[in-house]
């Protein structure tokens, strides 16, 4: 089986043990990887952030927000800090359009972990896996889920920091992971014709040992981002906001 199918099978298998995981919601984490449900927001400890950036052969539509219309230029790197974008699909021009996905605030750990990016064309009205450590809950429908990226996160950044006159550095640094996805414009139009023009994306991070055991209750998740595929041109509005079009 492919890693995609293995992970999907593991996620589905986990749904049969969510009652056992529910006990974790009342038990504080003892490995430094998170806090109990409803705890204070801690970047990289109990939630991740997911963002999208254009790469090649792509037209993106973003609801206008701020001076740059939702577009952020960070040292020559462009990305959209918004939870909903649209992508123009023209099957007669390119076989692929390329996007970069950015998962932020992966905090340092002395344990190996696995980071994955998943999508579904449907969301679930309630989480199908209980994840008490994570503020963000798994919103994707497991019956329709696919994994588009799986990455090993090695242990990093846990060295003791020297004391200085102005203070001491926290050994748990945070990093961003960026990975590129080729979207197949030969397949997506058929999804659009079947009224599946919108996908929901979410990133997850968990210890590698838990991943190998098929235990997903300890993972932390990003918010859900929405990507709509549109034919030929941007819509006039996204979430009742005027749209700014970017071509790359």
Per the domain annotation, does 248 fall within a domain?
A: no
The pLDDT value recorded for residue 66 is 44
**Beta pairing partners, 130:** none
The pLDDT value recorded for residue 232 is 85
Label residue 7 by pLDDT band (50, 70, 90): low
Mean pLDDT on 200-220: 91
Per the domain annotation, does 126 fall within a domain?
A: yes
Per the domain annotation, does 37 fall within a domain?
A: no
Total structural domains within the chain: 1
Mean pLDDT on 145-160: 88
Per the domain annotation, does 234 fall within a domain?
A: yes
- Structural domain of 203: 3-17+43-160+170-242
Global confidence as pTM: 0.81
Tokens of 138: 């798994």
pLDDT tens-digit series, residues 14-71:
544 333 334 333 333 334 444 445 467 888 899 999 998 877 788 888 887 643 444 4
Per the domain annotation, does 180 fall within a domain?
A: yes
**Beta pairing partners, 84:** 226
Whole-number mean pLDDT of the chain? 79
Residue 202: phi, psi to the nearest 5? Answer: -155, 140
Cα–Cα nearest to 125, from 143, 141, 136: 141
């Amino acid at each position: 089986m492919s890693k995609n199918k293995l992970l999907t099978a593991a996620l589905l298998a986990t749904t049969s043990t969510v009652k056992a995981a529910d006990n974790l919601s009342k038990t504080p984490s003892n490995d430094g990887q998170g806090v109990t449900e409803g705890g204070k927001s801690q970047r990289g400890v109990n939630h991740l952030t997911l963002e999208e950036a254009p790469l090649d052969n792509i037209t993106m539509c973003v609801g206008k927000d701020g001076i740059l219309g939702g577009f952020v230029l960070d040292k020559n790197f462009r990305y959209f800090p918004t939870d909903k974008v649209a992508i123009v699909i023209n099957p007669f021009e390119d076989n692929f359009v390329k996007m970069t996905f950015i998962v932020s605030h992966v905090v340092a750990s002395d344990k190996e972990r696995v980071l994955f990016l998943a999508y579904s064309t449907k969301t679930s009205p309630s989480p199908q896996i209980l994840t008490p450590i994570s503020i963000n809950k798994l919103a994707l429908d497991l019956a329709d889920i696919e994994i588009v990226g799986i990455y090993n996160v090695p242990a990093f950044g846990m060295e003791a920091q020297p004391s200085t006159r102005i203070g001491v550095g926290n050994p748990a640094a945070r990093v961003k992971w960026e990975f590129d996805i080729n979207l197949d414009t030969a397949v997506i139009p058929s999804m659009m014709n079947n009224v599946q023009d919108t996908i929901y994306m979410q990133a997850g991070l968990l210890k590698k040992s838990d991943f190998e055991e098929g235990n997903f209750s300890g993972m932390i998740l990003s918010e859900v981002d929405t990507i709509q595929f549109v034919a030929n041109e941007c819509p006039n509005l996204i979430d009742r906001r005027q749209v700014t079009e970017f071509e790359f």
